[in-house]
Amino acid sequence: MKTLFKTIIYLKLITGLLLSNNIKALVGINPTSSITAKNDQFSFSINSTEYFTFNQSEDIVSYKRYVVEFDIYKPREIKKNNKWDNLSLIFSSTSGSGDNNSQSYGISYNFNKRKFGITSSIHTHNLKFNSFEYSPLEASVSYHFRFRKKEIKPFIQLSYVDFNDESIDNQTILNLGAFSRINNLSIGTNIVSYFEKLKEGDDSFSYLGVSLSYIFD
């Protein structure tokens, strides 16, 4: 009985270590196309993103994410013109290979000026990976700006994911990307990597995202 118990513990630890290195795109909710919304306008956006993970020893694996974000209230003007903030709700669904998936929801606070903005978000995930279920909590902060006379908004985001499980290492995620808007249609791309892996020079756990979104504002 004791041997069986030890075996279960070891398997749990090994599975946790593998999971912490292969969670890939199931966490790490990047900024949405709402950062391109018009000033002082209530916005609602639908975002579809295809993620591709790259590993030199494996084939390219694809993940899909759908995100819906809408403002809770109309953006309010702050003190002077060209400053406004808003609060929004975010719902997302991410699917990977097999039954691996994550259903997420969160809230986001956005402070914007005409040329830049700052967003802070909190998300909770209901995640299933290799038949194990987890409920990680994710907090993030991002900064976006606009190129002069260009409708392109680059962003940089840092996220921290707490898996609430002793067998899985918590993760810090670095996200770099940009959105470009044509009328109500937005196209974006981003590169995501675990910060720890990035410091080690390991690109096996980075992935590329390509987004297509529609914005109502």
Which CATH number characterizes residue 51's domain? 2.40.160
d(CA 105, CA 84): 24
| pLDDT, tens digit, 9 for 90 and up, residues 139-196 | 999 999 877 666 788 999 999 999 888 878 888 898 999 998 888 899 999 888 877 7
Domain with 156 in it: 2-216
Q: Highest mean pLDDT range out of 32-36, 61-65, 181-185?
A: 181-185
d(CA 210, CA 132): 28
CB 135 within 8 A of CB 112: no
Total domains present in the chain:
1
d(CA 101, CA 133): 10
The mean predicted confidence, pLDDT, of the chain is 78
Mean per-residue pLDDT, 5-20: 36
d(CA 22, CA 129): 9
